[in-house]
Amino acid sequence: MSKLNKAKYYISGVLTGAVLFSGIALAANPIKLIVNGQQINSDVPPQVINGRTMIPARPLAEALGATVEWDAKNNAVMITSNNAPSKNVASVDLVNTLKPYKLHRATIDTVTVTGKSFTNAYLLQDEGEVNWNLDGQYKKLTLSTGVPDDDTSGYKIIIYGDGKEIKSEYVTTKDGLKELTVNVTGVKTLTVEGGYVNKGLIINPRVQ
């Protein structure tokens, strides 16, 4: 069997499964395709092959509000629901939009690092911390850290997800501004802490 035929049979099988969960009824002699109470007509009608009902992908997907594209390079039919999450999900600001539920030895401050001024920043004293409720809704945390231009000491932040350390970062004046990206998939409570006897700086924290 060719790759194309295999792809067609695979798609047919997937769509047959979709029929059972989408409120789609099939009637025999001839077979009708009914989606949410409306009969759908197509150039290629549904048919039974070897005891299995095969349904054309495009009319079924479009009737369910999805778009259908042929990916010749990967030899695949791409079906995308209008309800599918966007690949470019907007980030949520953790200073002004999703605010922390707890600040301990931490303040919102304006800081300057490598000559650039930032207003969305948390300045943490040693063992200071900031806590957010993420409720497992996000996958990625992005923030920057560094040492303010008016300071010469080392700064450290430790990132925890539900009490477990995910990442720690120590920076000095030589490091400039560092951007960190951390996986927070499934994390309900996010905590960023300043290291022991170290200050910490969180700039523009955001989640997606």
Q: Which pLDDT band, with edges at 50, 70 and 90, does 24 fall under?
A: very low
Q: How far apart are CA 150 and CA 28, in angstroms?
A: 79
- In contact, 169 and 178? CB cutoff 8 Å: yes
What pLDDT is attached to residue 166?
A: 96
Tens digits of per-residue pLDDT, 91-150? 899 999 999 999 999 999 999 999 999 999 999 999 899 999 999 999 999 999 999 999
Q: Which pLDDT band, with edges at 50, 70 and 90, does 88 fall under?
A: low
Q: How far apart are CA 179 and CA 81, in angstroms?
A: 34
Domains and CATH numbers, the chain: 3-81 (no CATH), 92-207 (2.60.120.1060)
**What does R_g of the chain's alpha carbons equal in angstroms?**
27
The mean pLDDT of the chain is: 82
Q: Is the pLDDT of residue 28 over 60?
A: no
Among candidate residues 132, 110, 113, the one with its CA nearest the CA of residue 121: 110
Give the rounded percent of residues in the chain with a pLDDT score beyond 90: 54
What pLDDT is attached to residue 78?
A: 72
How far lies 26's CA from each of 21, 60, 131, in Å? 13, 12, 53
What pLDDT is attached to residue 7?
A: 37
